[in-house]
Amino acid sequence: MLEQFSETVKLVIKHFPLSQHKFAKQAAAAAIAADEQGKFWSYHQELFKNFRNLDEKKTREIAVELGLDMKKFKKDVKSPAAERRIQLDMKDGRNKGVSYVPSVYVNGKLLNDRSVQGLTKAVITESEKKK
């Protein structure tokens, strides 16, 4: 999608850790720490693969597997900057009415059909409005 619509589509990820997942906030901080080392997407994918058994040990294991600088990773996970980003993202989500994750928005509108086809249709529709 990003390649096909590279001129008109921008992907923005916001962290919205759900309260019912006791380790979601820490996992979001770990993803932010991985992003500091240019490994957000690979780390993010591993988090979702392992969402049922996430804990501090697992987040460190993923970081090691991805070859992250562990000293920097541990520092960045606990950084005030990571906490601020999570809080701002959660505030943005609450203001948009987010109640589940992942939530997908196209030009500020909640996308109900999150399939590839639904997303493609929404992007094309919004792109045509700009012409």
* pTM: predicted TM-score of the whole model, two decimal places: 0.85
Tell me which range, 63-77, 86-100, 116-130, is most confidently predicted by mean pLDDT: 63-77
- The whole-number pLDDT of residue 99 equals 84
Residue 63: CATH number of its domain: 3.40.30.10
Which is more confidently placed, 38 or 6? 38
Whether the predicted pLDDT of 18 surpasses 80: yes
CA pseudo-torsion sign 37, 42, 46, 48? positive
Is residue 87 one of the residues assigned to a domain?
yes
Number of structural domains (the chain) is 1
> Average pLDDT in the 47-73 region?
95
- Burial label, 15 (beta-carbon count in 10 A; 0-12, 13-18, 19+): buried
Q: Which two tokens stand for residue 125?
A: 């529709």
Is residue 91 one of the residues assigned to a domain?
yes
- Segment 32-46, tens digit of pLDDT: 999 999 999 999 999
- Those residues whose C-beta lies under 8 Å from the C-beta of residue 64, and which sit 6 or more positions away, are 70
How confident is residue 131, by pLDDT bands cut at 50, 70 and 90?
Answer: low
What is the extent of the structural domain holding 46? 24-129
